[in-house]
Amino acid sequence: MNKARHNPLNTAAMHGALILYTLIALFPVFVILINSFKSRRAIFREPLALPSADSFSLVGYETVMKQGDFFLYFQNSMIVTVASLFFVLLFGAMAAYALSEYRFKGNLVMGLYLALGIMIPIRIGTVAILEMMVATGLVNTLWALILVYTAQGLPLAVFILSEFMRQVSDDLKNAGRIDGLSEYTIFFRLVLPLVRPAMATVAVFNMIPIWNDLWFPLILAPAEETKTLTLGSQVFIGQFVTDWNAVLSALSMAILPVLVLYVIFSRQLIRGITSGAVK
């Protein structure tokens, strides 16, 4: 056991640093939350004060509920995020498995080509993407967003997952082949469970940028029925007047689902079922 672990001073310093970082990281969230429950005047008078009997107000939430179809936006964001993550993980894992498992001509070139996307921001191609979406009639549909986000997430997913899949024991896959399992069964039943922590990492890395994105919803799907939460919240931010109550309330509610998804994935990160598989 490391000696430093037993030194109470070190332990205290370590925890102190971690607590300090947690406070700094959570402070903006905290400010958003408390201010979303205050009246407009109270927000500006004392931004850091907790809501009191005087300043407590739900006017922000009321505005959000009344103006625009907030639940629809919410649902749109959820569909786009979950579907994109599903496709990124499915196709990313399949491509990674092919690259790491099978010997074929151009394997290395294909791997580099798929990883190239990490270095090139997808937004550079916005005009071309928009033209493509117009041509295929996908503008103002959720599919437009799902396709773009899947493309955006794939390079990193393939890169990370193929690295992890190389570490999965060859013997295990070969045992499956000798026992008569199909390549798909080997992939879904033996390999995927073993790279679950890596899948969770990829999911978390992709989830937050997709949920928070304003660019593509604004360009590809600005229609009322396909607005995402981030885009929907923009109606409260005007050029001259901003309805801070509503903005803060909308943001508070937008945090929740990401938090839930994050908790689900991060549990996968911690759990490891590899022990006992080999060796």
Partner 1 sequence: MTALTLTNVNKSFGNVHVLKDITLEVEEGEFVVFVGPSGCGKSTLLRVIAGLEDASSGEINIDGQQVNLVPPSKRGIAMVFQSYALYPHLSVRGNMTLALKQERQPKAVIEERVAKASRMLNLEPYLDRYPSELSGGQRQRVAIGRAIVREPKLFLFDEPLSNLDAALRMNTRIEIANLHRALDASMIYVTHDQTEAMTLADKIVVLRDGRVEQIGSPMELYNNPVNQFVAGFLGSPSMNFLPEGLLQGGGQTTIGIRPEDLFLSDDGPLVARVSHVEKLGGDTNVIAKVNDHAVTARLFGQHSISEGQELRFAYAADKAYRFDTEGHRLG
**Which residues of the shown chain bind partner 1 in the complex (CB under 8 A)?**
169, 171-172, 174-181, 189-190, 193-194, 273-279
Q: Which is nearer to partner 1, 47 or 193 (CB)?
A: 193
Q: Which is nearer to partner 1, 121 or 193 (CB)?
A: 193
115's tokens: 């990883």
Least distance from partner 1 to the Cβ atom of residue 195, Å: 12
Residue the block writes with tokens 């549909």: 141
Own/partner contacts of 49-53, CB < 8 Å, gap of 24 or more, are none
Least distance from partner 1 to the Cβ atom of residue 94, Å: 20
Q: Which is nearer to partner 1, 5 or 279 (CB)?
A: 279
Q: Which is nearer to partner 1, 3 or 279 (CB)?
A: 279
Least distance from partner 1 to the Cβ atom of residue 268, Å: 15
8 A C-beta contact, residue 240 and residue 258: no
Least distance from partner 1 to the Cβ atom of residue 274, Å: 7
8 A C-beta contact, residue 96 and residue 165: yes
Least distance from partner 1 to the Cβ atom of residue 180, Å: 3
225's tokens: 């029925």
Q: Which is nearer to partner 1, 126 or 169 (CB)?
A: 169
Picking from 133, 141, 136, the residue whose alpha carbon sits closest to that of residue 226 is 141
**Cα distance between residue 239 and residue 244, in whole Å:** 13
Least distance from partner 1 to the Cβ atom of residue 277, Å: 4
Q: Which is nearer to partner 1, 62 or 171 (CB)?
A: 171
Picking from 214, 237, 263, 254, the residue whose alpha carbon sits closest to that of residue 75 is 254
Q: Which is nearer to partner 1, 171 or 224 (CB)?
A: 171
21's tokens: 């970082």
Residue the block writes with tokens 């006992």: 276
**Cα distance between residue 264 and residue 261, in whole Å:** 5
Number of H helices, E strands in the chain: 14, 0
**Cα distance between residue 78 and residue 73, in whole Å:** 9
Least distance from partner 1 to the Cβ atom of residue 194, Å: 7
